[in-house]
Structure 1
Amino acid sequence: MVITPDGNPKGILPTEKLYTSKPELENWIIEKFRQPKDKFSDFEYDGLKFPSSDIEILANYNHESNKMDIKVFVRNMKLDEEKYKTIAWIYLDNILGEFNSIKKIRFVDFFHLNEGETAKNSISILELRNQMDKDIYNIK
């Protein structure tokens, strides 16, 4: 079972309190926040099949806040900006993990990326998670 604030920053503290007070139940695994996934396969959202490779990231670690500032480039976003931003957030939440996407990203800006183009020096969302582990959590 996963105790989640469903992406709402105001739900972090209640999630922590509920998790801390959870009972020990035999044969149950109880986690707080949706956990990061190494593999989150391409999925379909509202009739749109969208691979994670259509999202490119430029990231900058902010030492003062101990958080990341990211620019998210989404291929063909102009076709339906809100739908594509939602898909990008779903990927961020699943690959980075819910806690990281809520608490460890300071700033996000979205940009359209044309078919066949790439953002210079961009990384994948999984590479972003690895960079966050290194910069924020000091994991080598």
Structure 2
Amino acid sequence: MRHLLIITLLLFSAHSFAQKDIELKKKFLGAYKGTIPSYMMDTGEQIIEVSSTDIFVNITDTDITISIGNNALHGTYEVMFEAKDYFLLDVKIDDQLANERILVYKRGKHISRDGMFPQPLAELSKV
């Protein structure tokens, strides 16, 4: 009986101290529009310049869509942590090995997308 009480107390305390899921508030959900600046890319044989292109990001309660040019990427996200000024999203795109990172700022109605190398950082504003 004593062991059962100790085990119950340990399980209860471990459960109560577990990290809680962080969710984005409704005001941060929606469509964002921006531009990926032009950048240089080394193909192995030559260095080419990739011109700037528009990017659209749509964040819903459960998933995210990133549209770059004519390509639309769909996936899910998880809020990794909440800082004083922003949320950090870990975005898992379908059929893509590497995850993307998006900062959702709490003020100013804008987000930042950390591009896959060699893409530069893109700033997007809420539409």
Please give the range of the TM-score, normalised by the shorter of the 2 chains. under 0.3
Larger Rg, first or second structure (1 or 2) = 2
TM-score, normalised via structure 1 length: 0.24
Larger strand fraction of residues: 2
Larger helix fraction of residues: 1
Between 1 and 2, higher relative CO (CA 8 Å, sep ≥ 6) is seen in 1
